[in-house]
Structure 1
Amino acid sequence: MVPRIYHIVANLTVWDWFFILIYFLFTLLVGFYFTRRATTNIAQYFTSGRGMPWWLLGTSMVATSFAADTPLAISGLIVKQGIAGNWYWWCMVPIHVMGAYFFARLWQRAGVLTDTELVKIRYSGKPAKILRGFRALYFSLPYNCLVMGWVNLAMANILGMTFKFNKLTSVLICFFFTMTYSAISGLWGVMVTDFFQFFLAMGMAILLSIYTINHIGGMGVILERLAAIYGGASKTMISIFPHDSPLPPLYNQLLLPTSLFLLYIGMVWWTTGNTDGGAYLAQRMLSAKNEKHSFLGYLWFSIAHYSLRPWPWIIVGLGAAVMFPGIG
């Protein structure tokens, strides 16, 4: 069966516009506030003077790890593959646990400004230059273009639904806004706004999950309607661990097959990039007060990233499977 497409139109009130403007103004003010401190020297700009506490840098890691596309992607996984579909990214748990215990202190101890600088120190000669050049090209072009592409597409779709903007206008507005406060305030402004944005996003996600439960009539009703709509596959949809099940009535595919689950936990997690906690995670650890704060920050990120953050979205995903059967 071809998945259904639902057209949802959002109508914003004056209060909606008021809070949106407050959010934009607050974020810009944070950026301007930290401009002088961030531009004192290069260490302040890239590592916040190496004085960040664990709770701030860890929360910044969590906030940076999800964007407009993440709640949509996870809710979509729930609808099409059940809760177990999250093993697509839950399989990365070993990376971050090992990162906290084996790499967090080492990143802080390295004393570099970026993970690229570590490559320069660790390797020498012509091979090191080739490696740095490859990393620069790989992360700047194919990797970041793909990541930014799907993130911006999700953001453009959301803004198109709420503000009636076309995709190009949406991308340009958000690019200008984000670039402004990030460029002028360095890591100081980025981490402080991350902290604020994390609690704002999580608060709204929790409220949405509560609204979803109340709107449908409670978790018991959600489970009953899942069984009525998806038949025998409903039990698999709410199972954390997958097992092959009958086809859901509205889809011509299995929920998460056991073979794919085994592939995730057996191979994907150790073949992915940044298994050492590099990139934006390393940048936060490099800004820590000391090795202890680097370790605790990475550990807090790992706990919040996997154990706390996804559950409101999972509830919303189950609600979406009930309210919009066959959504595509």
Structure 2
Amino acid sequence: MSFLNRVFIKQILMRKVIYSLIPIIIISTYYFGLRAIVLMSVTTVFAIITEFLFEKRLNKKVSEAVIVTSILFTLTLPVSTPFWVAIVGIIFGVVFAKEVFGGFGRNIFNPALVGRTFLYVCFPEYLTIQWNSPSINFPGGFSTYLTPSIDTVTRSTPLITFAQTGELVPLKNLFWGNISGSLGETSAILIILAGIYLIYTKAADWRLMVSPILGFMSLNTIIYFSNVTSIPNPIWSLLSGSIIFISVFFATEPITAPKTTEGKWIYGTLIGCITLLIRIYGIFVAGGMFAVLIMNTFAPILDEGIKFYKGSRSRKVIA
């Protein structure tokens, strides 16, 4: 324990996030095999080493936030992602989205999503076409290293299946998570429960969590009932893909999100809307990561704009 205290900065908030992720880690292992734990361990080790090498020069400790970053990064990946690809991604995310800005508390972009986006663009075959079947019978993945791979596109993730065939995976499968996909994005119920825990323990702002879902659902409903394009019903759209996972764990990151109340609502709502627009009209199925990174860019501007607007109104009232 003394060694850990010498190396890591104690961050209670980050530990709460880790606690909320434990059920998701367990279910991802159950569905896809013990390789999920191995992959997560590898990325965590390299994330810690990377941050340690940067912080050591400044006589600073490693933040526990880097553990959260590596866990979330791994949960955005398919279980069969090669180790070297995951290592490249987490190092890129920690270095270019965190350390180059000065380390913990100074980053503009979410490091886990930067690493994931880098892999999505540079090594798309590992993140878009290599999927594994979920286990459905106990002990499931606890008794195997890796579940069988899926060879055909039409039997891959719910969103890809819908795009290719128009077929909708049953809602109960989306709810419980026995579907193909990235490790942490399958079980909607566990992600929702994690969100409730984070709100209850004041580890996350409920506005940042609720607003992306409201934005996503509102725009989905408008487009769906307008028959503008082929789009699933709002409930199915919400439970499929990564929007709930993004809303609970990425939109709520306090460092990269706005600080003003109004800014939080605008920020989250636009994340939801952009996610849906990229999903429908873009060439990428996974629009959530791009939506968060886009809004990370505008978070400081939102706060400054709102403060300027409020200041202008106050001056007019006084005058």
Mark the structure with the bigger radius of gyration: 1
Higher helix share: 1
More RCO (CA 8 Å, sep 6+): 1
Task: Give the TM-score normalised by structure 2.
Answer: 0.27
